[in-house]
């Protein structure tokens, strides 16, 4: 099943092959407009130089996140119309539960309003004050939820995950030697569960190899620790396994997925990613005792177990979207868009995390703005500059998102993510983004730093305010 490629020569960047042609056509459009330079400057000031405070109408191409920003299919929209909004026992829940069970094999499925709600439930039950939770790399909300219960998040990614120039294909892998040492060492009793995030969002959307997952599962079994997966981008991860891991090329995404899930005790998922919906998530587990405790918490925090904080029609859209996300032509186009944007930027010499991952291009801030010191918040300065240049909205994934507020621990990676929403933008939007980034790259020496003038204690990247440094 090969995707159709454009036969039209790409004139403006002859060295870059076009991405696969969209395996869909557009039925509904949403107008976007490019604000003037003056309007962008005004918007930045009002927003306190934090693009989370911009109105979406002030943005031209919005690459802030791929979370909940997917375009739903006609079938998903049709699914909303067969919503059965019964408080209990809705048929949409039945369809949702059947689908998640069929795809994952996990017997107990609890819907939640989004990924962090699933994390709240899972860590609320499994992690306790003083515990240590290992993960390849914690994403922002995962980290915050581990901290919220008084436990310590510990990142155990392989060393190459921290090297933007290393081109290993599975940089999301767990350092199994370190995991083994942790679980055989004096702190082993403090580890309530092991988590692996597919793909590694914090480290560039890098995939985890099936061989690595098998080894992690073996170590967890040996030490009797439950293994939970963050599967919000599992289909993208399975696509990398299919196309990049020896012996996997003939297998379907669902087969690979099923082998991955069979290794684990359960999972959390933000369906806002590979569920192709705007809202939703779930927790899944094989443990019936845990499932009933989770159910009690679910009723307290989210809602009755057959809706879990969602409209029942949303569960229908998730059930349909989860299947659509396993279509190989869709995934080839999706990952192809990311690779295309990376190739355009690479042709200009723009430094980024290589190889490009599954859901976005991550610019390497240290090599982009080497003249700015960490105190000048170069990642945020780059995000601001991309907006200033072309109303492109990106996000800092580095010290502001991950440094602890005391400033003692600096994030080992300083990246700016250009996340590509699913089925939303076309090749020409990506060309526009590449040209915007390339113009900032050409005048990078002129980019000045920022001071953080307001910083909340937790998840501060969402609401902090900044001011330009003068001089």
Ligand X SMILES: *Cc1c(COP(=O)(O)O)cnc(C)c1O
Q: How many CA atoms lie within 13 A of 335 on its CB side?
A: 29
422 is a site residue for ligand X (CB under 6 A): no
Q: Long-range contacts of range 257-260, CB-CB < 8 Å, 24 or more positions apart?
A: 257/103, 257/104, 257/326, 258/103, 258/104, 258/105, 259/210, 260/198, 260/210, 260/213, 260/229, 260/234
- Interacting span for ligand X (CB under 6 A) from 27-35, 138-146, 381-389, 436-444: 138-146
Closest CB 232 distance from ligand X, rounded Å: 5
* Identity of the residue, 108 or 116, whose beta carbon is nearer to ligand X in the bound complex: 116
Identified binder of ligand X from the candidate list 19, 134, 153, 281, rule CB under 6 A = 281
142 is a site residue for ligand X (CB under 6 A): yes
How far is the C-alpha of 423 from the C-alpha of 36, rounded, in Å? 27
Footprint of ligand X on 285-324 (CB under 6 A): none
- Interacting span for ligand X (CB under 6 A) from 110-118, 175-183, 293-301, 342-350: 110-118
197 is a site residue for ligand X (CB under 6 A): yes
Count of residues that interact with ligand X, criterion CB under 6 A: 14
272 is a site residue for ligand X (CB under 6 A): yes
230 is a site residue for ligand X (CB under 6 A): yes
96 is a site residue for ligand X (CB under 6 A): no
Closest CB 440 distance from ligand X, rounded Å: 26
What are 344's two structure tokens? 């355009």
* Identity of the residue, 201 or 306, whose beta carbon is nearer to ligand X in the bound complex: 201
Q: End-to-end distance of the chain based on CA atoms, in angstroms?
A: 56
- Interacting span for ligand X (CB under 6 A) from 128-136, 137-145, 345-353, 420-428: 137-145
In DSSP terms, which residues pair with 393 in a beta bridge?
62
What are 311's two structure tokens? 């409209």
Q: Nearest CA to 451 among 378, 396, 366, 367?
A: 378
Identified binder of ligand X from the candidate list 270, 326, 411, 436, rule CB under 6 A = 270
Name the strand (E) or helix (H) holding 240.
helix 234-244
Identified binder of ligand X from the candidate list 141, 206, 248, 337, rule CB under 6 A = 141
Cβ proximity of 242 and 283 under 8 Å: no
In DSSP terms, which residues pair with 206 in a beta bridge?
200
Q: State the residues that interact with ligand X by CB under 6 A.
A: 67, 114-116, 139, 141-142, 197, 201, 230, 232, 270, 272, 281
């Amino acid at each position: 099943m090969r995707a159709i490629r454009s036969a039209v020569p790409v004139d403006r960047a002859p060295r870059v092959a076009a991405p696969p042609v969209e395996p869909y056509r557009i039925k509904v459009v949403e107008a976007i407009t490019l604000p003037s330079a003056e309007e962008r400057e005004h918007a930045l000031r009002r927003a306190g130089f934090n693009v989370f405070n911009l109105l979406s109408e002030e943005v031209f191409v919005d690459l802030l996140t791929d979370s909940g920003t997917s375009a739903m299919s006609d079938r998903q929209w049709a699914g909303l119309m067969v919503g059965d909004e019964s408080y209990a026992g809705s048929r949409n829940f039945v369809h949702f539960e059947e689908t998640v069970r069929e795809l994952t094999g996990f017997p107990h499925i609890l819907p939640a309003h989004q990924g962090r709600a699933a994390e709240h439930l899972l860590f609320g039950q499994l992690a306790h004050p003083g515990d240590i939770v290992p993960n390849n790399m914690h994403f922002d909300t995962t980290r915050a939820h581990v901290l919220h219960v008084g436990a310590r998040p510990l990142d155990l990614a392989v060393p190459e995950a921290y090297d933007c120039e290393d081109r290993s294909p599975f940089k999301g892998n767990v350092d199994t030697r370190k995991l083994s040492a942790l679980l055989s060492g004096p702190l082993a009793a403090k580890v309530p569960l092991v988590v692996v995030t597919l793909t590694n969002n914090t480290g560039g959307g890098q995939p985890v190899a099936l061989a690595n997952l098998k080894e992690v599962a073996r170590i967890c079994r040996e030490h009797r620790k439950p293994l939970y997966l963050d599967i919000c981008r599992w289909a993208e991860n399975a696509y990398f396994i299919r196309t990049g891991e020896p012996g996997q090329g003939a297998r379907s995404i669902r087969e690979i997925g099923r082998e991955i899930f069979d290794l684990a005790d359960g999972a959390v998922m933000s369906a806002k990613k590979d569920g192709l919906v705007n809202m939703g998530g779930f927790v899944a587990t094989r443990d019936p005792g845990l499932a009933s405790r989770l159910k009690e918490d679910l009723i307290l925090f989210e809602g009755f177990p057959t809706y879990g904080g969602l409209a029942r029609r949303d569960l229908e859209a998730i059930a349909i979207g989860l299947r659509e996300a396993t279509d190989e032509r869709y995934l080839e186009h999706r990952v192809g868009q990311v690779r295309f944007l990376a190739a355009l930027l690479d042709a200009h010499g723009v430094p980024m995390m290589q190889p490009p991952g599954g859901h976005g291009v991550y610019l390497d801030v240290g090599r982009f703005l080497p003249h700015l010191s960490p105190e000048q918040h170069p990642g945020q300065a780059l995000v601001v500059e991309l907006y200033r240049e072309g109303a492109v909205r990106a996000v800092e994934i580095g010290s502001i998102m991950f440094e602890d507020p005391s400033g003692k621990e600096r994030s080992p990676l300083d990246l700016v993510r250009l996340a590509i929403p699913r089925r939303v933008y076309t090749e020409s939007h990506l060309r526009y983004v590449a040209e915007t980034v390339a113009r900032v790259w050409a005048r990078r020496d002129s980019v000045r730093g920022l001071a953080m003038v307001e910083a909340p204690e937790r998840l501060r990247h969402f609401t902090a305010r900044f001011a330009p440094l003068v001089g």
